[in-house]
Structure 1
Amino acid sequence: MTTSRRWTLRTERTGYTVRLSPDGPWAELEAWGPHGAEHGPSALDWSHRTHFITPADAAPAEYLPQGLRPFTGADLIASRPGGERGVWWTFDGAVEEPGTLRLAFTDDVLGLRTTLCYATVPGTDVIHRWTELTCTGEEELRLERLDSAAVTVPVTEGARLTYLTGQWSQEFQHTQLDLTRGTFTMGSSQGVPGHAYAPWLAVQDAAAPHDAPAPTYGIALEWAGNWHIAAEAEPGGTVRVRAGRVAHEGAVRLAPGDTLTTPRLACAFSPDGLDGLSRVWHRYERRLAGGRLRRPRKVLYNSWEATGFDVDAASQLELAKAAADIGAELFVVDDGWFTGRADDTGGLGDWSPDPAAFPDGFDRFVDDVRALGLDFGLWIEPEAVSPASRLYAEHPEWVYRIDGRPARRVRNQLLLDLGRTDVQEFVLGTLDELLTGHHISYLKWDMNRPPTERGRPGAGLADHLDLDAEHVRGYLRVLDHLRTAHPDVTVEGCAGGGGRIDHTTLARTDVVWPSDNTAPLDRLAIQYGFLHAHAPHVMSSWVTDARGVFDPRPRSLAFRFVTAMCGVLGIGADLRHWTPDQLAEAAGWISRYKEVRDVVHHGEARLLGTVRDATCGVQYDAEDGHRVVVAAFSTGRLDGAPLVPGRPARLRLRGLDPTATYTDAASSTAYGGAHLLHYGLPLAWSADHDAELVVLTRH
């Protein structure tokens, strides 16, 4: 127990200073920024003028309940059944250890102990925050709001919020809003983070130039279920952001003696703008990967776009042979491999290979694929069930349903209640049987429908269900089992594309699928937003023949390959219809990718320009600085370029040594580092040349 009233947590490059407020029984933020920012008057100090509000409403509070903070947004709403909806607590001590801090507050009248928890993440500039709520009285408590934490950012002319929006097939769209007054909120009630918003937010001062590095604060909620993030422009020139999970039932019951732990909120800071903040998140996600990142992400071929549900051994082997010939290392059979799956109306839940599709046996088929030098993988949707399946006939009570109400079908399927222990055991047994019974080294976990009528048949009001949290816990339990029981299996996370991407998923999978949209310019925009929040080594990306949905302008095969090489390269096109020239070009790109993927997955990534610019790119710097890989794209008009006088486009690089020389491995052209920083890398675009991968070696 410490008697201090001021604490500083230090990360690699930043400090986060918390103090007990002199105005009341709460903790507040004093400083958050580079080392040393805590020395001097706090930028969050205020004038203490509180007309029509209370000091708690104006303070940069770390966490406050309704009761103490009645007007400008509380982080916790708790009550006894039939009692007042408020908490009035007192400070009950601090426990500080290296890299961690715990601040406790108690309300003995209500019977609630609230502990604010902090922990630095070694090797990163990320701080975890979460809250523990313990019922200390003799009556259960009702928690209507149970946010994880709140952070306060000082601003002069309002806050510039950067966030990621979209819909199915258009996820991770980079979006900005200047908030000068009022409240901005986003979230999901779909049981997953969702396609509409990512649980990620960056905050800058709106007065900062858009194109210059500026202090940038970021948060990411680590939760795979319902969630919300709210940013409020508060009195006195601050913006306060709070985030947490949202109970499906509207409230959570906390029994005497029980403790509820909220999801972690990851908090990050960079002085180098959004691009610098992205590298903070990338380093964090490389740490989440741990030793699994040392295994190269293999070049994948997935058969879905070639065959759909029409899966049979002969056609799959034909595709596998073509994939092996161009250098793929892994072959994944997608939907359609199991009994009853001729289309999307049946089969889900009955996870056994279809004997009609594999007449010589499924293991013989897998052996034939592996004989081509390919690893083998399968797609599966463990949480889904088809009404016509054997599983549903045997266990109709396992699906979400409200008694007396119809069960709506989405994509002709229902959703299993993964919060039930018996459903978890079924999923665990299914996956264990597949992964131990067959030589499978890759598993693509999909989820193609959110919960709609979310009830548990037979449950009564006295059961006090928390279905969203129970489902998340079941989902994470299964993923944790896969990590420990099948550590050599690569796991891909997918939910109709990018519907379930958060740090709890990323900590337990190896790659994720950002979107079902693989069209070139559409995908480039998706990946531009994605890389602001997530690392290249988790971003699975395919080369396909898909036409643009939102931007239908044609782009070359090279453009598609360079786009996919910005993360983890895969191919999803029907190679049986590619020409010999296309196959030869593909083999060349795959060979080049294998030479640079260590830099892409382990290096520092820098976003060069935006997808709204005529030329943009991504720069990857090797850990030792010896190699620089640049993926460059022409997103503008390509017609007329060879017919009129002009100069090459230039893409300014960043972070290079201005005194060093960098040589293009392909052309042997040497550039001074200062030249690349000042003028940029020259790129001569034309209708036949709209993307390039440049590898520079430092001398």
Structure 2
Amino acid sequence: MIVLDQKNRIFTLHTQNTTYQMKADQYNVLLHTYYGSRIDGFDLSALIQYGDRSFTPNPSEAGSNRNYSLDVMPQEYSTCGVGDFRLPSIELELANGSHTADMRYEGFRLEKGKYAMEGLPGFYSNEDETETLVITLKDAAAQVDMELYYSVFEDYDLITRTVRVVNQGTEEIRLCRCASLCLDFLRTDMDFITFNACHLMERCMDRGALRSGIQSVGSVRGISSHQHNPFVILCDRGADEDTGICYGAMLLYSGNFEAAVECSQYENSRLVMGIHPYHFCWTLEAGQAFTAPEAAMICSPDGFGQMSRQYHKAIRRHLLRDPYTGRRKPVLVNNWEATYFDFTADRLADIAREAAALGIELFVMDDGWFGSRNNDNCSLGDWQVNLDKLPGGLEALVSRIKNMGMKFGIWMEPEMVNEDSDLYRAHPDWALQVPGRAPSRGRGQLVLDFSRKDVRDHIYDQMKKVLSCVEISYLKWDMNRSLTDVWSVTLPARRQGEVYHRYVLGIYDLLERLHRDYPHILIEGCCGGGGRFDGGMLYYTPQIWCSDDTDAVDRLRIQYGTSFCYPVCTMGAHVSAVPNEQNGRVTPLKTRGITAMSGAFGYEMDLGKCTAEEKMEIRRQVESYKIYYDLLHDGDYYRLSSPFQDGIYTAWEHVSANRREALVSVVYDRNGAAPLFGTLRLKGLDPAFQYQINRTDSFYSGEILMKAGYPLPQMKGDYSAVQIYLRASE
């Protein structure tokens, strides 16, 4: 709900549990007055105090009033070069060479429904589900207008926002920074939580207290990256899963980003989030506009758990465009770890036959099916079937797979090219390369210049021939290196700062074409696993390969961190063989299945090498996943313990919306000779319900399970696991 006080120029955005407020003051500065637990009917600008501060300049309009300075005011969108020395949200380079932006309130409008952004991903809604507030700011001297967009998803405590900058003058200007989100707080006693690490260990939670100066995470790799995720949290120092106020901020963007927090000299803090200013400079000719990527904020007064569940619901219902919405996704098997590049049609058919007998429904053919691809160093860009490996082409193979009762999926890496390829030999200038420099390679490949429409068109024409020749249900879109040598032959020198962003827009363009032309195909995003796991990609690829690390114990940490923002249904998670390829660890097959079930479930192994006992276990896992699918993918998710803290187990829980069903998963750590007894307190149940445990004669009340707990069984061996199914009695 959006409440307007036009007389006092106060704008209040209410969600179910929170309030966000801003006010245009006497000098037309748009102040940020409050964001937190819901408060009705107040002008919260009274919280802002004024005083004469040394070395804090005063704007011209303030005259001799030294008590007013932009350097200490909480602003809705921070300025640059006019007296606020903290983190700027915008930086302009004007025709006269100055780098100044002074945006003042000009007006507003209220709209039904959610704003739209051409060429960029964003949350969506029906007209009656959201309201949008648009506030116009203006820099009169620079002749630049800015529109701040806010859409309110009341039921989810979600506020989305973006920024549109318009050059209203007659001369060219350059946009050197344009953040999507600015949040000012009249406090610094908060923690900053980020999700970091590296390839094979993505999105590990990192929490630390705010300190003086600037703390930041970001990426200049051309992708959102394995190293840092474009989702951050600010929270009370004592906030935990169930208590304390926390602020989540997600950027729906798949390229270079920055999330920075500055604690100022007077115990105020500011979060600025958006496209990373590194090598970003966007030219705006007269009349042209630039739109920043969308940011999505959720404030939870009741800890991390509530924030996560609100993000999960909002993403599932208003961001994903999933062809399987309302129905179960198939369980898949991928041949990569079973065969790598060394396969034939008969070998693939054998894997599919074994999988079909175990209840698996989708066979995915991974890398190595095209060109002369027998290793990493050739054929990327040549998307034609290798008839030596697949006699009769895809038609013959897919016919065999379909006759087994299975669907068919395929792997492609559209953004990449090998120098040993027909495409590169014909068009070497289509790769990102700096003139006069030898290019750097990653995984033996170069990056195609997807900022160019002709390059995208050529790749898409090849993809269409593949995707249209047979019935394909699933596409794994991979991307296996970061961007280097970022320079485009199609742009003049002064516009090379646009290439990184134009590249991302090009990816979105091609994915949108796929969504339009093949709405029935489920696209799974992949970037060396989780290197591009962000809200922007989820708009186009409703699930993403969570990590190339498939070890069940490592995945506990990866999936735990990912869950703070992103729902289970978006996490590609597979059971793989042991010893694990990445770390050599041996974990029980049951444990690998339980861990992978908290994701988009499948297998990444040679099923023909499984014993009869292992095949029985796989069949049980597949059947269980199908039974619990709705609970796993649509239920409320509760983190019951952290895999980053020393403990005898890691536990999590899925609870149905009506609280009548729950599935608890527990993975134990290394076992000892005298293992500790564990009692697990559950969450999200109805205290008045009696819950049957694992369809036995054992019953516990919801009150007991949540307040006193459930006694966990003693387990033998390292890394054992158990699932506990609860159903309320009638």
The residue number in structure 1 matching 2:201 is 170
Matches within 5 A, 1:58-69: 58-69=72-83
The residue number in structure 1 matching 2:690 is 661
Q: Distance in 1 between matches of 2:230 and 2:195?
A: 8
Give yes or no for the alignment of 1:531 onto 2:560.
Answer: no
The residue number in structure 2 matching 1:53 is 56
Q: Distance in 2 between matches of 1:262 and 1:597?
A: 37
Matches within 5 A, 1:118-137: 118-121=150-153, 123-137=155-169
The residue number in structure 2 matching 1:179 is 210
- Given that 1:615 and 1:651 are in contact with CA atoms closer than 8 Å, whether structure 2 keeps it comes out as no
The residue number in structure 1 matching 2:666 is 632
Instruction: Call closer, same or farther: CA 1:668–1:544 in 2, change over 3 Å.
Output: farther
- Given that 1:522 and 1:549 are in contact with CA atoms closer than 8 Å, whether structure 2 keeps it comes out as no
Letter in 2 for 1:621: V
Q: Distance in 2 between matches of 1:21 and 1:585?
A: 66
The CA deviation at 1:40 is: 6.7
- Given that 1:627 and 1:695 are in contact with CA atoms closer than 8 Å, whether structure 2 keeps it comes out as yes
Instruction: Call closer, same or farther: CA 1:583–1:358 in 2, change over 3 Å.
Output: same
Give yes or no for the alignment of 1:18 onto 2:22.
Answer: yes
Q: Distance in 1 between matches of 2:168 and 2:490?
A: 31
Give yes or no for the alignment of 1:225 onto 2:228.
Answer: no
The residue number in structure 1 matching 2:85 is 71
1:152 alignment partner, SS class: strand
The CA deviation at 1:324 is: 1.2
Letter in 2 for 1:671: Y
- Given that 1:147 and 1:245 are in contact with CA atoms closer than 8 Å, whether structure 2 keeps it comes out as yes
Q: Which moved more, 1:275-284 or 1:540-549?
A: 540-549
Give yes or no for the alignment of 1:30 onto 2:33.
Answer: yes
The CA deviation at 1:10 is: 2.4
2:263 alignment partner, SS class: strand
| Residue of structure 1 aligned with 2:701, choices 648, 655, 672 | 672
| Residue of structure 2 aligned with 1:192, choices 209, 216, 223 | 223
Q: Distance in 2 between matches of 1:549 and 1:386?
A: 26
| Residue of structure 2 aligned with 1:466, choices 485, 495, 498 | 498
Instruction: Call closer, same or farther: CA 1:185–1:274 in 2, change over 3 Å.
Output: same
Letter in 2 for 1:639: G
Instruction: Call closer, same or farther: CA 1:274–1:598 in 2, change over 3 Å.
Output: same
- Given that 1:79 and 1:110 are in contact with CA atoms closer than 8 Å, whether structure 2 keeps it comes out as no
The CA deviation at 1:318 is: 1.0
The residue number in structure 2 matching 1:153 is 185
Letter in 2 for 1:213: T
Instruction: Call closer, same or farther: CA 1:428–1:11 in 2, change over 3 Å.
Output: farther
Q: Which moved more, 1:617-626 or 1:181-190?
A: 617-626
The CA deviation at 1:313 is: 0.7
Q: Distance in 1 between matches of 2:51 and 2:22?
A: 19
Q: Distance in 2 between matches of 1:421 and 1:34?
A: 46
Matches within 5 A, 1:379-394: 379-394=411-426
1:532 alignment partner, SS class: coil
The CA deviation at 1:428 is: 2.0
Letter in 2 for 1:90: R
Matches within 5 A, 1:200-219: 200-206=231-237, 208-210=238-240, 212-219=242-249
Q: Distance in 2 between matches of 1:256 and 1:423?
A: 28
2:397 alignment partner, SS class: helix
Give yes or no for the alignment of 1:102 onto 2:134.
Answer: yes
Q: Distance in 2 between matches of 1:40 and 1:418?
A: 48
The residue number in structure 2 matching 1:91 is 105
The CA deviation at 1:619 is: 1.0
The residue number in structure 2 matching 1:350 is 382
The CA deviation at 1:526 is: 0.4
The CA deviation at 1:650 is: 1.7
Matches within 5 A, 1:202-601: 202-206=233-237, 208-210=238-240, 212-246=242-276, 249-287=279-317, 288-289=319-320, 292=323, 293-457=325-489, 459-461=491-493, 463=495, 466-547=498-579, 554-601=586-633
- Given that 1:17 and 1:38 are in contact with CA atoms closer than 8 Å, whether structure 2 keeps it comes out as no
Letter in 2 for 1:215: I
1:279 alignment partner, SS class: helix
Letter in 2 for 1:190: R
1:114 alignment partner, SS class: strand
Letter in 2 for 1:85: H
Q: Distance in 2 between matches of 1:419 and 1:445?
A: 18
Q: Distance in 1 between matches of 2:44 and 2:233?
A: 25
2:296 alignment partner, SS class: strand
Letter in 2 for 1:384: M
1:57 alignment partner, SS class: coil
1:166-217 deviation line (CA, Å, top 9, x unaligned)? 11111010111111322111111111100100000111122x2546511111
- Given that 1:186 and 1:228 are in contact with CA atoms closer than 8 Å, whether structure 2 keeps it comes out as yes
- Given that 1:279 and 1:604 are in contact with CA atoms closer than 8 Å, whether structure 2 keeps it comes out as yes
Q: Distance in 2 between matches of 1:337 and 1:483?
A: 23
Instruction: Call closer, same or farther: CA 1:400–1:675 in 2, change over 3 Å.
Output: same
Q: TM-score, normalization: structure 2?
A: 0.91
1:307-354 deviation line (CA, Å, top 9, x unaligned)? 001121111111111111111111101101112110001111111111
- Given that 1:427 and 1:478 are in contact with CA atoms closer than 8 Å, whether structure 2 keeps it comes out as no
1:145 alignment partner, SS class: strand
List gaps (5 residues or longer) in structure 2: 58-68, 113-130
Q: Distance in 2 between matches of 1:467 and 1:70?
A: 30
Q: Distance in 2 between matches of 1:192 and 1:628?
A: 37
Q: Distance in 1 between matches of 2:138 and 2:274?
A: 21
1:611-639 deviation line (CA, Å, top 9, x unaligned)? 0232222211112222111111113x313
Q: Distance in 1 between matches of 2:451 and 2:679?
A: 54
Runs of 4+ in 1 over 4 A off after TM superposition: 1-4, 40-44, 209-212, 462-465, 546-553
- Given that 1:202 and 1:274 are in contact with CA atoms closer than 8 Å, whether structure 2 keeps it comes out as no
Letter in 2 for 1:431: M
Letter in 2 for 1:273: G
Letter in 1 for 2:551: A
Letter in 2 for 1:113: D
1:101 alignment partner, SS class: strand
The CA deviation at 1:694 is: 1.5
Letter in 1 for 2:16: E
Instruction: Call closer, same or farther: CA 1:380–1:147 in 2, change over 3 Å.
Output: same
- Given that 1:148 and 1:265 are in contact with CA atoms closer than 8 Å, whether structure 2 keeps it comes out as yes
The CA deviation at 1:682 is: 2.1
1:223-268 deviation line (CA, Å, top 9, x unaligned)? 1111101011234433210011135534221111101111111111
Root-mean-square deviation (CA, aligned residues, Å) is 2.1
- Given that 1:44 and 1:60 are in contact with CA atoms closer than 8 Å, whether structure 2 keeps it comes out as no
Instruction: Call closer, same or farther: CA 1:376–1:281 in 2, change over 3 Å.
Output: same
List gaps (5 residues or longer) in structure 1: none
- Given that 2:281 and 2:497 are in contact with CA atoms closer than 8 Å, whether structure 1 keeps it comes out as no
| Residue of structure 2 aligned with 1:622, choices 616, 635, 656 | 656
The residue number in structure 2 matching 1:682 is 711
Q: Distance in 1 between matches of 2:220 and 2:404?
A: 45
Instruction: Call closer, same or farther: CA 1:464–1:316 in 2, change over 3 Å.
Output: closer
The CA deviation at 1:572 is: 0.5
- Given that 1:403 and 1:458 are in contact with CA atoms closer than 8 Å, whether structure 2 keeps it comes out as no
Instruction: Call closer, same or farther: CA 1:465–1:32 in 2, change over 3 Å.
Output: closer
1:444-471 deviation line (CA, Å, top 9, x unaligned)? 0000012110111364325555111211
Letter in 1 for 2:77: Y
Q: TM-score, normalization: structure 1?
A: 0.95
Q: Distance in 2 between matches of 1:38 and 1:239?
A: 26
The CA deviation at 1:571 is: 0.5
Between the two proteins, the alignment pairs up a number of residues equal to: 691
Matches within 5 A, 1:112-123: 112-121=144-153, 123=155
- Given that 2:383 and 2:463 are in contact with CA atoms closer than 8 Å, whether structure 1 keeps it comes out as no
